[in-house]
A = this chain, B = another copy of it.
């Protein structure tokens, strides 16, 4: 798929081409905790140091598709909520070769994750609060990814990917507490969320988390969670 005609060599030929990678900040949610999937780097330089899973953008795929491919390979999951974070393009950000990296973040459910993939590569879920130092500029990628996740979660309900079909408001609150890394008042959160009018109460109740039992809710319609609803949580 090389383009070699005269026009192209005139317009593009004089310019260098670069490896373009996608690195994924994979947030795994389970039970009130947000964790981060890290891989020990399997080759020099920086062998053994922790890093984000990544891969190279191929010729006929978009960076979004590359991210989907990497997520599938590393977690076994597809249909994942995912957003581009930023491009990292310092010329010497990787020692061995120049690689321009596009950072993405993704949200997955820890309980749906394929355990075997963990062992195969020695990957580990780290809590955000006690994760190790990462190679290159991956620390910065994580920081920016979390900031973008918080921004996005502040404008739309991001629950559908991380919670079961039916969920209680407490479950949703714990998810938001994990994303925003702080406690949220149960009563105020409940009122705020319900006032948005995007949740529908089912007639079933959850009895596992409390004696009284809590109603299950679900989204009013598929997709409606992405409509304009103004700020949910102040950032």
Contact = CB atoms under 8 A, between A and B. Distances in A.
Interface string A26-60: 00000000000000000110000000000011111
A13 to B, nearest CB: 9
The prevalent SS among residues of A at the interface is loop
Contacts of A15: 19, 56, 58
A88 to B, nearest CB: 9
How many A residues are at the interface, by size bracket? Answer: 35 or more
A161 interface: no
Contacts of A43: 7, 11
Interface of A: 1, 3, 7-8, 11-12, 15-20, 43-44, 56-64, 84, 86-87, 89-91, 96-100, 102
Given A86-B86, A87-B102, A58 B7 contact: no
Given A17-B20, A20-B89, 16 more contacts: A3-B97, A11-B97, A12-B97, A15-B19, A15-B58, A16-B57, A17-B17, A18-B18, A59-B91, A60-B91, A62-B91, A63-B89, A63-B100, A64-B89, A84-B86, A86-B86
